[in-house]
Amino acid sequence: MESLPEAVLIRILASIPAVDLVLACRLVCCQWKNLVDGAALWILKCQQEGLTGAESEENAENWQNFYFLSKKRKNLIRNPCGEDDLQHWGEVENGGDGWKIEELPGDFGKEFPSEEVHKYFVTSYEWCRKAQVIDLRAEGYWEELMDTTQPKIVVRDWYAGRSDAGCLYELCVKLLSENEDVLAEYKSETVDIPQDNDANWTEISHTFSNYGPGVRFVRFEHGGQDTLFWKGWYGVRVTNSSVTVEP
């Protein structure tokens, strides 16, 4: 192996699973360590696996992190569209008649922009709120990665009103430390949707970056109510919530 040109050795190493490269191959010898820690190997793996952004210029550390973050990218919110009722949602506040799950488009509603979304949560005539707390370490985002690279944490939510009723909507997301101290926070304004609105779905998003070391949890909370105080479920509708850690 020592006689192989470096370019050939990189191609051989690129066929090995990434975790094995980091945990085993880089311990074989100084040459392998330098290759695993360098940019060329990870650029090749990104290109082989069709990961977008692999053509951009980054330093060696970022290439490795880019690969792992791209492979791990997923929505960390569980049950974002109500397919499992209120499962995985905690700190549920059931004002009025409480939360309800309905099928799209719903009465006086519009279809969602994505055909993959079939249900939504709907609020009542007093404030309804629900939350999820995401444990980043449990999801595979190790402490050194969060503290040094500080990858972007992207939050998205979708809300809509019925066309025959006015409603309110709020979103609050916090980045928490090990002791659940608030290290960064995004809180939307209270969105006031008037009666006789177009019932279109609206996306709201926020990106956390350069938030400093120590982030271990993400707390996502949203909610709302109707403004006419009609019994039943005439408040804001929410669905397709997401929290992703981006390269």
pLDDT band at 62 (very low <50, low <70, confident <90, very high): confident
Q: Does residue 17 have a pLDDT over 90?
A: no
Burial zone of 212 (CB within 10 Å; 0-12 exposed, 13-18 middle, 19+ buried): exposed
- Mean pLDDT value across the chain: 91
What's the confidence (pLDDT) of residue 60? 42
Comparison of pLDDT for 12 and 71, the residue scoring more: 12
What's the confidence (pLDDT) of residue 123? 98
Sequence length of the chain is: 247
**Nearest residue to 157 (alpha-carbon basis) of 130, 181, 135, 177:** 130
CATH number at residue 13: 1.20.1280.50
21 occurs within a structural domain: yes
What's the confidence (pLDDT) of residue 75? 96
Query: Residue 89: how many CB atoms within 10 A of its CB?
Result: 22
Lowest mean pLDDT among 27-41, 114-128, 226-240: 27-41
123 occurs within a structural domain: yes
Based on the domain organization, do 185 and 224 belong to the same domain?
yes
What's the confidence (pLDDT) of residue 61? 55
Based on the domain organization, do 46 and 104 belong to the same domain?
no
43 occurs within a structural domain: yes
78 occurs within a structural domain: no
pLDDT band at 166 (very low <50, low <70, confident <90, very high): very high
Lowest mean pLDDT among 13-17, 93-97, 184-188, 240-244: 13-17
3-class secondary structure, 43: helix
**What is the domain extent for residue 54?**
6-63
Q: Are 239 and 120 in contact (CB under 8 A)?
A: yes
Based on the domain organization, do 104 and 224 belong to the same domain?
yes
Q: Give the whole-angstrom CA distance, residue 158 versus residue 174.
A: 18
CATH number at residue 213: 2.60.120.260
Q: Does residue 54 have a pLDDT over 50?
A: no
Based on the domain organization, do 100 and 175 belong to the same domain?
yes
Based on the domain organization, do 96 and 146 belong to the same domain?
yes
* Domains in the chain, number: 2
Based on the domain organization, do 96 and 201 belong to the same domain?
yes
pLDDT band at 47 (very low <50, low <70, confident <90, very high): confident
Single residue among 19, 45, 63 that ends a domain in this structure: 63
pLDDT one-digit tens code per residue, 26-35: 888 888 888 8
> What value does the mean pLDDT take over residues 88-115?
96
50 occurs within a structural domain: yes
